[in-house]
Structures are given as structure tokens and as C-alpha cells.
Amino acid sequence: MMVRKSKGIGERHQKILGFIASYQREHKHPPSIREIGEHCDISSTSVVNYYLDQLEKEGLLERDRKISRGMRLIGDNNPLGDMLRVPLMGVIQAGEPILVPSESPFTPEDSVEIAMSMMPSREKGKDLFALQVQGDSMIDAMINDGDIVILKPAQDARNGEMVAVWLTERNETTLKYYYKEKDGYRLQPANPAFKPIMIKKNETIDIKGKVVMVIRKMERMAA
């Protein structure tokens, strides 16, 4: 028989970690000790328990004693994590006002999953929503056609925050950094190559939300 001298983790440990991960991916709950044994060619539950204890000592696993399937993978092994499901409300484009989920009648055909750990500040509110940018009108905000922007509903903003605004007078939706100034507002593009839009006090701006995150998937591109 194979004998290893108790240092670090061996092939058997790896196999068990891998099995727990794949099992949990499939069933969404951890396996039992006996299930681990079956799939890792260990005929005795006590041996599985033996390995599990070692993995716990190594800090790769945590166990809730006495609780069925009470184990969880730690660190890089853990395939599961908290995530936010953000409803994808539709598209945002220059010519049309964006649709903010005003209370109930929202039907997210699709949704976007974001890892909790990636969320800035503590915008962990459940009222976030996402829009897909259509067209090149947001280039000056460094946002491409097809990008997904995650927004948090808001009516006002603090200086330096990027907001989605509906410019009533200009009949335009845009994403800009917001600055309140003495004679009105300054809407600053993210791209320094573009000039800011100055809004006089008599004009109205309609802040729809704060931009929390921008995601761009690089699928492919037309030639």
C-alpha cells in the first residue's frame, strides 16, 4: 500500500477536494461522507472522516460537526459564493430615456450575476439594475456598444460620481461624471479627450441613477 509521511496534502486529498467541489456544483449542497467514499474509492467512512479532519487542519475545509453534509470548501477551492442577481432591464441609448425599475412592474427577461465580492462600497442593496448600452453614443464615457452598466437608482448625486442622466432639453440620455458648480452642473466625460457639458441652472437635469459598475464581454468583433 501507499504510505505518505503526513506532510502536506497528497493525491487522495486532492481527489476529495475535487469531488466535493464538483458534487456541490451539481447538487448545490455538499456530499455526505459515504458519498465521498464511494467516488474516491474509500471503502470506510472512518477513512473519509480521517482525511476530512486533515483537510480541516490544513485550512482547506471547514466542518460543522454532527451536521449532515456540514462541510464547506475554503478559499480557492470553493466553487460557490454569494452573488447578486441584477435584473437586466433593457437597453440604454442616446435618443431615448432609460427605464428605471419604478417599483413593481419590472420584468427582467434576463439578469446579470455579479459576485458580491466585486461590488464596490456596500452597494449591496437589492435595488440595483443593469442596462445594456446600444450604440456608440457613450464613447466619451469610455463605454462601448454592448457594454453592460450596473446602476443604482438615485435622484441626486455627489460630486465625482458617475450618473445616468436624462437631459430633458437635449432629448438625450448620457453617462457622465457629476459635478455641481455655482452656476449649474458640469457633466464631465470619463474620456479626457472630450469636453464637459455645462448645464445652466435654468435647464433641468434628470438623474436616473449612479453607475456602480461597467462590464464588457469580449465575444468577438466584426472585421
Partner DNA sequence: CTTGACACAGAACAGGCGTTCGGTTATCAT
Partner DNA sequence: ATGATAACCGAACGCCTGTTCTGTGTCAAG
Q: Please identify every residue annotated as catalytic.
A: 137, 176
Q: What is the contact mask toward DNA in residues 11 to 40, using x (rule: CB under 7 A)?
A: -x-------------------xxxx-----
Query: Using the rule CB under 7 A, is 153 a contact of DNA?
Result: no
Q: What is the contact mask toward DNA in residues 55 to 84, using x (rule: CB under 7 A)?
A: --------x-xxxxxx--------------
Cβ-based nearer residue to DNA, 27 or 170: 27
What's phi and psi for 83, nearest 5 deg? -140, 155
Say which entry of a copy of itself, DNA, none residue 156 contacts (CB below 5 to 8 A, set by partner kind). none
Distance of CA 9 to the CA centre of its chain: 32
Residue 21: its H or E element: helix 11-27
Place of cell 458534487: 23
Residue 112: its H or E element: strand 110-115
What's phi and psi for 137, nearest 5 deg? -75, -10
Angle between helices 11-27 and 45-57 (to 10 degrees): 100
Beta bridge partners of 61: 73
Shortest Å distance, C-beta 71 to a copy of itself = 7
Shortest Å distance, C-beta 54 to DNA = 7
What's the DSSP call for residue 76?
G
Copy the grid coordinates of residue 212.
456602480
Say which entry of a copy of itself, DNA, none residue 27 contacts (CB below 5 to 8 A, set by partner kind). a copy of itself
Residue 130 region by backbone torsions, left for phi larger than 0, else alpha for psi between -120 and 50, else beta? beta
Cβ-based nearer residue to DNA, 36 or 212: 36
Beta bridge partners of 44: none
Q: What is the contact mask toward a copy of itself in residues 5 to 44, using x (rule: CB under 8 A)?
A: --------------------x-xxxx-x------------
Scanning 44-52, 94-102, 140-148, 156-164 for contacts with DNA by CB under 7 A, the matching segment is 44-52
Binding site for DNA (CB under 7 A): 1-6, 10, 12, 32-35, 42-47, 49-52, 54, 63, 65-70
